[in-house]
Structure 1
């Protein structure tokens, strides 16, 4: 990282640790709680003009979304899950295949240990006009222990702009449209970071920190006790997948033995640095509640 005020940069790892650190603060309580000026100031910085936004992780249903009509045994759900499973098996079975297909790591979830998982995003598929397309999923969900794909996440955007998502099936009381958006700081920051890093949003003059992410929809291909469309990942005991083969990229990490994370991936996967003046905060000094975030 450069020490120059004119050419200061923030490392990718520092920014992502900052994102995880802000989410970890949820264990302390909502940033909206009135227990100190620092917390109030932080909330105002990130929640300005965003009435639903929070510092801690949170989500909201998209307009018109509903889980009421969703059923795992509905023919449309079965068909969609089967098509997704087939595409993952043929084209995107593991991290090696994802990197080859142009997917980028998006470590915005906080689960660690046995239940850890991650999103992988493909800039070529995001905003291409094809929604709910199993062969071109905007994001693939990966089990961090085995490095295997265990589902997908569809993202409703068009040319970089969030759009109204389509229902999976049904209408009224039988509507199945389980789309959600992230309104908490970790998810919002991760989406902002993705757009700046991979879509070059800043080059187009778009530096705005979002109030929420676009609408997103999960489809899990492993058994899930809640739903095929559940927001959270299935517990470890339901992820019946073998570790991926030894990756072809240079790494000392081993699937099934080492958790997938930034340290396991080659440096060339994402840019090392992002101009510090693009960041919505200075992560090197980000310590809103007097907690050492390890930055």
Structure 2
């Protein structure tokens, strides 16, 4: 299946099933959760799911990237305010809402395995993930969108070059500086929801399966959030700000064909045009789909 507008490849369900069947040795986890279902602890279930990833968890989980620290980060530091201002300008002028993101080639991802706040979504740019720039406000690898207003509320920088993970740069502070003087709040996801999201992106939009690369990652590349709406924790906080901090006017009615209305209907797969929706969405992976993972 291909995007009818620009021939961007979108993996078909049949192709992915055929490519993955009998190839990837991940253990089936069914609907086991980390609360001890089936008598297993989180660590035991994680080991059963992926023996090659000792830090992996079934529940959402993340870790600081090597050599990074958030100890020196401050929202009022000149480098932070400069970065946030540049991100806000980029979103306002280039990527203000879901309609603009689709026009710019961004691909939506709505979390399926997360058990928390699902009122915001990640939109990923294959072009910017595949270029050689990192931490560039004008070229954010991912944009974070409020699903109620359909408006962009921040970005998620992803430390990749040519699509491959790289060591992330600090926002400010030299590598040899004391931790309290450095701001490098990059994190990687080690939990199943984040790892699955990255694997889904690679298979669906980068077509890794065509080259026989079906490996399920032990962790994602390093990532860094910058919120352009007020956040009670930090500009760099991982989770989205509470809903009361996102009281935004609805985006304009989109140019694409949809019955959904910003501000009235939640932004999700059903609100998007067919040529943007993958043949198989993340929530449709069930036994005996790839890896026997039942969601």
Tell me if TM exceeds 0.5: yes
* Alignment partner of 1:219 is 2:217: no
Equivalent residue runs for 1:74-113 within 5 Å? 74-108=77-111, 110=114
What residue number does 2:4 align with? none
Structure 1 residues 175 and 54: alpha-carbon distance in aligned structure 2, compared to 1, 3 A threshold: same
Q: Deviations over 1:20-58 (max 9, x none)?
A: xx89965x5267xx8159x95x63453221011001111
- Which residue is equivalent to 2:39? 35
Aligned equivalents of 1:228 and 1:96: distance in 2? 25
Q: Say how many residue pairs are matched.
A: 261
**Which of 200, 206, 209 is 2:213 aligned to?**
206
TM-score, reference length from structure 1: 0.81
SS of residue in 1 equivalent to 2:199: helix
Match of 2:133 among 130, 133, 137: 130
Matches of 1:187 and 1:244 in 2, distance apart?
A: 28
Question: CA offsets, 1:197-238, max 9 Å, x none?
Answer: 101111223111000000000000000000000000000111
Partners of 2:189 and 2:195 within 8 A in 1: yes
TM-superposition CA deviations, 1:130-155 (whole Å, max 9, x none): 11111110000000000000000000
TM-superposition CA deviations, 1:44-85 (whole Å, max 9, x none): 453221011001111111101111110000000000000000
Cα 1:76–1:268, aligned 2, differ >3 Å: closer, same or farther?
same
Match of 1:236 in 2: 243
State the SS of the aligned residue for 1:119. Answer: strand
User: Taking structure 1 as reference, are residues 46 and 159 closer, same or farther at Cα in structure 2, changes over 3 Å only?
Assistant: farther
**2:100 and 2:30 mapped to 1: Cα distance?**
30
**CA shift for structure 1 position 104:** 0.3
Structure 2 equivalent of residue 47 of structure 1: 50
Q: Structure 1 residue 175 and structure 2 residue 182: aligned?
A: yes
Q: CA deviation at 1:157?
A: 1.0
Report the aligned-residue RMSD.
Answer: 2.8
Distance 1:225 1:254 in 2: 29
Q: Which runs of 5+ in 1 are unaligned?
A: 1-6, 11-21, 287-292
8 Å Cα contact 2:148-2:266 kept in structure 1: yes
Equivalences for 1:143-292 in 2 at 5 Å?
A: 143-170=146-173, 171-172=177-178, 173-273=180-280, 280-283=290-293, 286=294
Q: Secondary structure at the residue paired with 1:281?
A: helix
8 Å contact from structure 2 (residues 16, 209) kept in 1: no
Q: 1:149 to 1:52 in 2, by over 3 A?
A: same
**1:253 alignment partner, SS class:** coil
Cα displacement string for residues 230-268 of structure 1 (whole angstroms, at most 9, x for unaligned residues): 000000111142110111111111111111111111111
In the superposition, the TM-score normalised over structure 2's length comes to 0.81
Distance in 1 of aligned mates of 2:288 and 2:156: 27
| Residues 89, 8 of structure 1: alpha-carbon distance in 2 compared, 3 angstrom cutoff | closer
